Amino acid sequence: MKKALVLYSGGLDSRLVVRLLQDQNFEITALYFALPFGCTGCNLLENLNQKEKIKLEILNVNKEPLLSEYLQILKSPKHGTGAGINPCKDCKIFMFKKAHEYAKKHDIQLIATGEVIGQRPMSQIPSAIKTIDEELGFEILRPLCAKKLRETAVEKSGLVDRSKLLEITGRGRKKQMELAKKYEIEYPSPGGGCLLCEKSPALRLKHLLEKNLITEKTLSLTMIGRHFYINNTWFIVARDAKESQIISTFKNHIPDDYGKPSVYLSKKSGEKEATKLQEAYSTGDNQEKRNKFKKYKL
């Protein structure tokens, strides 16, 4: 049986790719990347349609050793970033290379993605696709827009019938939605997006990366609370009971206490500041105290 590895996000485009390749008698393995700051809106398992009959593999980039490798890319992306600190081209190259390793190990002849030319400004315009492909040194099939791209080896060899691939371009979703109807695919609305593209969390993450404060252990903290950096110490003030609960699982923290939020501190020596922060963000009118910490906010 012919085998294909599809980079799978759970969204409509990658699900269409699964169907297109199944129509060409491929056995599909869907490779999902759980990225540290990537899309949070797709509940993969919930979206996994039984009808699709695919094998699902998850590469967890929130854990070592993949996490360090990924953080290194964020620190010094070779191909630049978008509006935030999103290194889309490098991020894609990272995922494609991991997919390639997986495909080689499992004798899979073809790697495919749901990318569409012109759909995303940073990684899916022709020049970006060219840069990515040149750096990879192996080919990726993009079935949704393949007819707009150069013929790949798997098409030339007849493994894939190019005439049955598509020529979708641009940001519109009309064609994909028509196909979803045809294949009876129920698909989720687009997810929560990538935090790296958003200016405010991106600045905070940039600072934390520079100070080497993001680790497998502290990763969950980067997404919660109010953040401060004072005298080489990272502080996070909980905004609600749920965040207080998360912070309380860390060794270095000041527990919450009747209207006072819990506070994480990266160094024990910061306890005095942590107590002041807790006071400033406790219930009541503490604006003056809060203002003193403004300049330290991440």
Footprint of ligand SF4 (CB under 6 A): 35, 38, 86-88, 91-92, 123, 194, 196-197
Output the smallest distance, CB 42 to ligand SF4, in A: 12
- Using the minimum distance from each CB to ligand SF4, give the nearer residue, 61 or 237: 61
Question: The tokens of 70 are what?
Answer: 């990924």
- Using the minimum distance from each CB to ligand SF4, give the nearer residue, 28 or 197: 197
Pairwise CA distance, residues 136 & 150, whole Å: 16
Pairwise CA distance, residues 73 & 115, whole Å: 21
- Using the minimum distance from each CB to ligand SF4, give the nearer residue, 33 or 264: 33
- Judge residue 180's burial from the number of C-beta atoms within 10 Å of its C-beta, 0-12 exposed, 13-18 middle, 19 or more buried: middle
- Using the minimum distance from each CB to ligand SF4, give the nearer residue, 92 or 260: 92
- Using the minimum distance from each CB to ligand SF4, give the nearer residue, 15 or 226: 15
Pairwise CA distance, residues 65 & 216, whole Å: 9
Pairwise CA distance, residues 265 & 228, whole Å: 10
* Terminal-residue alpha carbon distance, the chain: 53
Output the smallest distance, CB 195 to ligand SF4, in A: 8
Output the smallest distance, CB 133 to ligand SF4, in A: 15
- Using the minimum distance from each CB to ligand SF4, give the nearer residue, 87 or 270: 87
Question: The tokens of 82 are what?
Answer: 């978008």
| Alpha helices (runs of H) in the chain, residue ranges in sequence order | 12-23, 44-47, 66-75, 88-105, 126-136, 153-156, 174-183, 199-210, 241-247, 271-280, 287-291
Output the smallest distance, CB 6 to ligand SF4, in A: 16
DSSP output for 244-276: HHHHTTSSSEE--BTTB--EEESSGGGHHHHHH
Output the smallest distance, CB 87 to ligand SF4, in A: 6
Output the smallest distance, CB 107 to ligand SF4, in A: 27
- Using the minimum distance from each CB to ligand SF4, give the nearer residue, 37 or 228: 37
Residue pair 54/82 in contact (Cβ under 8 Å)? The answer is: no
Output the smallest distance, CB 54 to ligand SF4, in A: 21
Classify residue 168 as left (phi > 0), alpha (psi -120 to 50) or beta. beta
Measured in degrees and rounded to the nearest 5, phi and psi for residue 32 equal -105, 130
